[in-house]
Structure 1
Amino acid sequence: MSDPMIIRARVPAPVKQVRHALTDPDTLRVWLAEHVEVELPDRFEFWGRFTPEGDAPHQRLLHADDRTVRFAWTLDGVETTTEFAVEEDGPDAAIVSVSQSHFDMQEAMEESNVRGVLQTYWYLVLANLVEHFEGRALTPKPDFTSAELRAEVLIDAPPAKVYASLIDSEAVTRWFGYPIEIEPRVGGRYAMGGFDAEGEPAKILELETDRKMSVDWGPVGVGTWELEGSGGKTRLTLVQSGFDRTPYAGWLGSVSGLADLRRFVEMADWSPIWLS
């Protein structure tokens, strides 16, 4: 088995408060899952629409202390291991990490099993933990029981600024945290990893200044960003459609990216949530 995947994020709260958020059922229902039951040191379970294979709780608590929560999580018949860990980052901030076993990038690209969603799932979950402590509206959680993939966020910036941050290669690379090259025209290329990356780039199908962009991702369908301005703010609607199977890994990546996009265009002192 390969080394576990690890994601780290800076949270603007002291370690004690963050640890409470990682183990308090009421708080976990805000940023993690629809249903949560926690009774330390014996039980840590979550399930519901916003959880992969969330028809019932599939977790088994392995360890919990003042800085760590570790549990087994059975997905697609395989028992994986997940660990939350928290460490100080000064008196008023903490670093939260998620370590996840049994994640394989090739499986994620092929969408061959539900474990392929785990990387983008945990990015979205940690983004919502950060937003919870910042007092910001949370990024929409995916409904794993629905084939309609749709998310809406309200951004405190005019449509022109949001649009520019969606079509400019340098800007998108900054807030998404991954190299992306875009030819901002109908028929233009949209390449994750850049134009020299392996594989066929996506293609821009529609582009309306300050209003809309649709990108054809091939087998995983068409992604559309629509912008509607009002009172200096922008409602962004993201829709994924036209696929043969539900591409939750890629979908979650797009949705988790909305958290970074909002911060990027709203905050004068923007800095990424994520740590290397």
Structure 2
Amino acid sequence: MTEPMIIRARIPAPADQVRRALTDPAAMRIWLAEHVEVEVPERFGFWGRTTPEGDAPHQRLLHVDERTVRFAWLLDGEETTTELTVEADGADRTILTLSQTHWDFEDVVTGKSIRGVLQTYWCQVLTNLAEHFEGRPLTPMQDYTSTEMRVEMEVGASPSEVFESITSSEAVTKWFGYLIEIEPRVGGRLAMGGFDNNPDPAKVLELEPDRKFAVDWGAAGVGTWELAGSGGKTRLTLVQSGFDEARPPFAAWGGFLSGFAELRRYLEVPDWQPVIMA
């Protein structure tokens, strides 16, 4: 078995409030899932369209205390273990650490197991938790029952600012939290990990300043950002097309959506810091 996946997130709230949000059904229905049934220690379940294999609750509570919530989660026939631990980072901020077993990057690449979505799923969820405490509108979560990926959000910045933020290597690397290099021209390369480390980069298909940016990701399909703005704000639409509908690239989509959330925060939040820590 591979080592557990670890994700650390900055949550802008005191540790006791964050800990309560991990088991409070009303809060969990906002930041975690469509449907929640939690009554500690007897019941702990969540499910719905935005939960992997969310046809029914497949979780079982293992441990809960003032710092930690640990539960078993049956996914693709394997019982995985998820643990969330809170640690105060000053009076008004918390570092939340998530540990997830039974995640393998090979499942991301091949799509053979729903467990391949877990990394990007949890990045979406933890960013939602941060935005819940900030009182910000949450970015839509991935719908694991749909073969369509389209999301629209209003961004508090001009189209030129948004366009620069999605086409500049330096800007994208900042808000996405991972080295990305872009040649901002039609036919140019977009390389996750940088040009020197990616032998198979994506390709820029369309580039209309302040209006449109489309990238061919190969098997994951074509991602298109469309911008329309007025009054210093931008309606930003992200659409993914041209993929194998029998095997939608849910892991990649989750990455786009968690990135979308951080892009908005990067442009809107004073003294911005990314939620997901490197």
Q: Are residue 21 (structure 1) and residue 34 (structure 2) matched?
A: no
Residue type at the aligned position of 1:255? L
Aligned equivalent of 2:87:
87
Partner of 2:108: 108
- 1:64 alignment counterpart: 64
Q: Is the 8 A contact 2:227 2:235 kept in 1?
A: yes
Instruction: Write the letter of the residue equivalent to 1:18.
Output: V
Paired residue secondary structure (1:119): helix
Deviations 1:102-131 (A, max 9, x none): 011122122221000000000000000000
Q: Using the TM superposition, give the Cα deviation of residue 43 of structure 1 relative to its aligned residue in structure 2, in angstroms.
A: 1.5
Return the alpha-carbon distance in structure 2 between the equivalents of residues 198 and 96 of structure 1: 31
Percent identical among aligned pairs is 66
Among 249, 264, 267, the residue aligned to 1:265: 267
In structure 1, the gaps of 5 or more residues are none
In structure 1, the residue corresponding to 2:22 is in which secondary structure?
A: helix
> Matched residues in 2 for 1:199 and 1:147: separation?
29
Aligned runs of 1:164-243 on 2, under 5 Å?
Answer: 164-243=164-243
Structure 1 residue 153: deviation in Å? 1.5
What's the secondary structure of 1:23's corresponding residue? Answer: coil
1:121 and 2:121 aligned: yes
Q: Aligned-residue CA RMSD in angstroms?
A: 1.0
Deviations 1:188-209 (A, max 9, x none): 1111111112431111111110
Superposed CA offset, 1:62-116 (max 9, x none): 1111111111101111110001111111111111111100011122122221000
C-alpha contact 2:192 2:198 (8 A) present in aligned 1: no
Unaligned runs of 5+ in 2: none
CA distance in 1, matches of 2:215, 2:153: 19
Structure 2 CA distance for aligned equivalents of residues 198 and 132 of structure 1 = 35
Partners of 2:89 and 2:110 in 1: how far apart? 37
Q: Which amino acid is 1:265 matched to?
A: L
Q: Give the number of aligned pairs.
A: 276
TM normalised by structure 2 equals: 0.97
Residue 54 of structure 1: aligned partner: 54
Q: Secondary structure at the match of 2:186?
A: coil
Q: Deviations for 1:11-40, whole angstroms, at most 9, x for unmatched residues? A: 111111111111100110001000000010
Q: Give the TM-score normalised by the residue count of structure 1.
A: 0.98
Match of 2:251 in 1: 249
- Rounded Cα–Cα distance in structure 1 between residues aligned with 2:269 and 2:13: 18
1:266 counterpart letter in structure 2: E
1:35 equivalent to 2:30? Answer no
Secondary structure of 2:72 counterpart: strand
Change (3 A) 1:26 1:268: closer
